[in-house]
Structure 1
Amino acid sequence: MTGTGEERGGAGRDGPWWWERRRSAVLDVGLGVVSAVECALEGVPTAREAGVPVVVGVLFGLVVGSTLVLRRRRPIAVALVGIAVTPAMMGFLLGVVGLYTLAASEVPRRIVATLAPMALAGTFVVTYMRTRGDVEADGTLVFVLSAFMSVALTVPPVLLGLYVGARRRLMESLQERADSLERELSLLADRAEERAEWARTEERTRIAREMHDVVAHRVSLMVVHAAALQAVAAKDPAKAARNAALVGDMGRQALTELREMLGVLRSGSPRPVAPAPVAGPPAGGFEEGPSLEELEALVGQSRAAGMVVELLVQGEGREDPYPAEVEQTAYRVVQEALTNCHKHAPGARVVVRLAHRDGEVAMQVENGPCAADVTRPGLPSGGNGLVGMRERVVGLGGVFVSGPTDAGGFRVSAVLPRAAGVAP
């Protein structure tokens, strides 16, 4: 059955005027023509009974029957016209189709509940009066026959219209849900693509940060030792030999760490990672790496390169070690800070402080002003050291502060919580 009720504009409409489709217009016009012809024929006896010219009855029937064309546009008006002409015994098709259209349309149910009983009562009264006057029959039989005719002409169209309207609304609801689901799936696919791209970017950033931390410190020390080797090669062969040995050790250590990192990247083996929260970027993967116990060796490497550096430890570490990501991040912060001292403050006195507190560990690397009589090693700087340190610390929910001191030096400070989490 075709849909009824007020037309709803939408994409794909190709019908004239208020019809959504051409076939709907053809159907309604066809029903209107048949109804007009029927009412015109029924208007002949009606006109004779009323004592008016037959032409008037025919014209009246044509006008009344043709109103069925408006059933989709004005279903209430068509139903009222069908009820109004019931006493004239005309408009059989108009009444049946009008009631069906009214029940199937989007009009309030209370209107259907009002007009349907009116049509039922009108049909019953007219049928009863006509039957009682035309035939000689028992009153009970006439009553039953009239009731049957009125129910047959009103109840089935109303029930069918209610069913078709409910089915159409259900199909529209299902279509809306399907469209909504399709939009949601498209949105989820877009979000998944965004997350994948973000994850790739985050992984590239993490790898770049790891490569920088691993290589920059070792290579910086190698450059410093190489410069010292060049300076003392002719004057002190023994010291030059020691510096050459240190350069070789640094190079081997750098190669070892690079080989381990590349091996992890190639194998793609799973590594323990810090848990990611609901909001905020992940802290990145933390493979087996350096710990706080290796700070003394790290400071010793800088001393061997000629730096005047002091390590001060406050508090006592707890019996249970810090989480691996906390120890590795603390080590990398100190390592990168010492690398920056080699690059930008050669000859300056450096103090490394490590403090164990309740629930957190703090570290600070502070250097004095650069010595005026010391030649800078000319180490390149990409400007990513402080950024990488901040990303590491903030990624674990810590606090990172860096900046110049009043004495003309530079200070890097960081505090990491023991229960490392990811900052939002």
Structure 2
Amino acid sequence: MTAPRAWWTRVPDPVIDAMVVAVAVGDVLLSLADAGPVAQSMAALACAALVVRRRFPLPVFLLTLPASLMLDIVFAPFAALFTLAERSRNRRLLVVCAVLFALASAAPWPLYDLTAHDRTWTLVYFFYTLATAAAPVLLGQLVQARRDLARRLVEIEEAREHERLLHSQAVLARERAQLAREMHDVVSHQVSLIAVQAGALQVAATDPDFKEGARTIRSLSVGTLDELRHMVTLLRASGGRATELTPQPTLADLHKLVTTSGIDAELTGELPPEVSTTAQRAVYRTVQEALTNVRKHAPGASATVRLWRADDGAAFGVTVTNTPPTRPSLPLPGSHQGLIGLRERAELLGGTFESGPTADGGYEVALRIPPRTD
């Protein structure tokens, strides 16, 4: 939702131009008492030129200088100088224009009528006028900076909206890919077992009704597998690559993960064989995230991955501890969501996840899972 525009920004440009010309004409009329035809012509030209000051700011400003030299006017050159400062990014040009205006305003007319006393007063009036000319220049630059800032804020908001859209699409794709993996690795596997068992029963059965029931179960299982494969393909196509439906990692992959982590890491201990597939994935992901953090944030540190189970069988889990880093770490980008995701994964399993620094300056993460988690 954008903020309401100020009332003066809703005034049409032709109306503003007409008001500027009207004020400039009024300023000129106050100085035409003893003006000659040339001065009057220059004043009329300066006022008329203000109509096109938005398109030709520099020529219009230069056209106001003769009138400023011949008459005691300020509004027309100020309006032209403000428009030039609002639209130009050349600050040297703005300084030169301000000096030209000060010279035109301070110089006497005619130029040859200049005594020693007048020269001193002209110099004083020049610096006074130069300081006055800084006002439209600074105001014009301020309006330009405000306009640039507003444009930049719009661009940032559009970029943030685009980033939010991409993030939501990435989350949706990740969830679909995760669902596809779960269907492929768990549901498809179990339905395959049903089909195999039903086929075995169909072969071994002697009763016709029993054989027909086994055949029906096997036929439905095969059809279900086909539907699952089709759904998995659709999910993968909409959530990422439609290939590489590889099984999720298990405890059997931990040794390879530790040895190929790129750091000095040691794997000790073991877990009970009845650990569920879901719990095995949680243990694997915990070790993977912990070793990744060691590699990113603790260069030169060594790590110990300890698999454990309680003596009374009430829980099992993994603890990853690393020593303090031996050299400074480089600032690497990260989502800062890894540990949060591990904690959420542990909570879904009914377990706990803890992380924090150790007394010797290292870091430790610990996952604890109750038994019979599936």
| Bigger radius of gyration | 1
TM-score for the superposition, normalised by structure 1: 0.43
TM-score for the superposition, normalised by structure 2: 0.48
Work out which structure has the larger RCO, using CA pairs closer than 8 Å and 6 or more positions apart in sequence: 1
